Amino acid sequence: MAFVAVAEGMQCIACKSTENENCTDVLTDEKVAMSMLKDCGKLDDSCMKIITRHYSMIKGKQQLTSKIVNRFCAEQTEEQKNGCIQYLGAGGTVEACRCQGNHCNAATISSISFGLLLMSVLTYICHQF
C-alpha cells in the first residue's frame, strides 16, 4: 500500500482509540488510515504510536482487559531515537514507537516491520508464563 503526500510538511496518522474505533493497533484499511492523516507542526519531525495494555487476573489467568492506541505527531529529541521501547509495569505494558517519515506510524498490515511483529510475539509469550 502506498501513501501519497498531499502537503509539504510532515504528516502522521493522528487518532485515539478511546475516541475512534478505527484507531486500532494495526490499521487494516488504507482509506481509513488516510482519513486520519494530520499535518504536523513545524517542530514535529517524527510520528509516534503508543499502545497501552492493561491486564487483570481473571479466574487465575492474566488476561488483557483493555488496550488503548494513540498515534500522533511528535518532536524528536536526542534521548528519543527511532524504534520501539516497551515499558512493563504493575498490571500493564506501554509500547512506544517513534519513526521519521510521512505516515510512518500508519502500520497497515502491509507495512508492519518484522521487528515489531517479533516484539509482539515475544510479549505474548512472556505473558503466558
In tens, the pLDDT along 15-50 reads: 999 999 999 988 888 888 899 999 999 889 999 999
- CA-wise closest residue to 53 among 30, 36, 69, 73: 69
In a domain, 101, yes or no: yes
In a domain, 4, yes or no: no
In tens, the pLDDT along 76-118 reads: 877 777 889 999 988 899 999 999 988 898 865 434 444 444 4
Amino acid 124: pLDDT: 52
In a domain, 3, yes or no: no
Which CATH number goes with the domain that contains 88? 2.10.60.10
> Are the C-beta atoms of 6 and 30 separated by less than 8 Å?
no
> Are the C-beta atoms of 54 and 64 separated by less than 8 Å?
yes
- Alpha-carbon distance of 20 to 52, in angstroms, equals 15
In a domain, 1, yes or no: no
Amino acid 71: pLDDT: 95
In a domain, 6, yes or no: no
pTM over 0.75: no
Range of the domain at 67: 11-128
In a domain, 102, yes or no: yes
In a domain, 2, yes or no: no
Amino acid 97: pLDDT: 92
In a domain, 87, yes or no: yes
- Alpha-carbon distance of 91 to 63, in angstroms, equals 10
Residue 59 confidence (pLDDT) above 70: yes
Number of domains present in the structure of the chain: 1
Q: Kindly report the three-state secondary structure assignment for every residue of the chain.
A: CCCCCCCCCCEEECEECCCCCCCCCCECCHHHHHHCEEECCCCCCEEEEEEEEEEEEECCEEEEEEEEEEEEEECCCCCCCCEEEEEEECCEEEEEEEECCCCCCCCEHHHCCHHHHHHHHHHHHHHHC
Amino acid 30: pLDDT: 86
Q: 61 vs 9, 64, 118, CA distance in Å?
A: 47, 10, 23
Amino acid 51: pLDDT: 95
